[in-house]
Amino acid sequence: MEVDDGPMYLKTAKTEQEACEKTWWLALLMVGNYVHTDAMTTSFLSAGVGITLIGVVLSTGVLCFTYHVMGPLAWVYLTLDRTIFAVALLIVIVFCTYGDVPLINSFLSWAPFRPLSRLSYGLYVFHIVLLYRSKTSLRDPVRGHYIDAVVETTGLTAISLVLSLVVWLLFKSDSRINPEVQI
C-alpha cells in the first residue's frame, strides 16, 4: 500500500497544498479560520486563538455581571479560582522538584507512568500522521457508531505507541549502548 493510496488522498492533499500556497499568510496571522474560509483549511491553532479571544470577552462579561448581581465576594472567587488552581499546581511542582512529599512522589513515580513518559512525544508525533493517513485513504462510507470510534481510536493509539517504542529503542534508549540497562 502506498502513502498516497485511497480515493480521497489526492483530492485532500491537492486541496491542502493549494490552500497553503494561496493563503499561507492567514495561517501565519492565525486568522485563517475567519478570513477567506473557502480557501483555507482549518487550523487548530487558529481556532484556539479565536476561542481564547471569545473566552476572554465572555469571561469579562460574566465577571461584570457577577459583580453587579452577587457582589464583590463572588467576583473575587470567579477572578481567582483558576489562579488558585495554578498556584496549587505550582506548589506541587516545587515540592516535587525541591522537596519530598511521599504521596505526590509515589503517585508520579508509579511504575506504569515510566514507559509512557518515554513514549509520549512519539505518540504525539505519530498519531496525527496516522490519523490523517487513515482518514484520507478510506474506500467506504463511514458509519457514525461509537464502537467504530472506540476501535479506531484504540488501533491508532496502539500503532502510535508501537512506532514510538521503535523510535525510542533505536534513537533514545540507553540499552543500545549498554545492554544491562533496564527499559
Tens of pLDDT along 70-99? 777 777 777 777 888 888 888 888 887 887
Segment 12-39 mean pLDDT: 71
Selection from 104, 84, 101 nearest residue 76 by Cα: 84
Main-chain dihedrals φ then ψ at residue 13, nearest 5 degrees: -65, -40
Percent of the chain with pLDDT over 90: 7
Segment 113-120 mean pLDDT: 84
**SS3 string of the chain?**
CCCCCCCCHHHHHHHHHHHHHHHHHHHHHCCCCCCCCCCCCCCHHHHHHHHHHHHHHHHHHHHHHHHHHHCHHHHHHHHHHHHHHHHHHHHHHHHHHHCCCHHHHHHHCCCCHHHHHHHHHHHHHHHHHHHHHHHHCCCCCCCCCHHHHHHHHHHHHHHHHHHHHHHHHHHHCHHHCCCCCCC
Q: Nine-digit cell at 71?
A: 457582589
The distance between the two most distant Cα atoms of the chain, rounded to a whole number of Å, is 67
Mean pLDDT of the residues in the chain: 76
pTM: 0.46
Selection from 162, 102, 105 nearest residue 130 by Cα: 162
- Contact status, residue 33 vs residue 26, Cβ threshold 8 Å: no
- Contact status, residue 63 vs residue 75, Cβ threshold 8 Å: yes
Chain centroid to Cα 42, Å, comes to: 15
pLDDT at site 162: 93
* Alpha-carbon gap, residue 169 to 183, rounded angstroms: 9
Tens of pLDDT along 148-172? 888 888 999 999 999 999 988 888 7
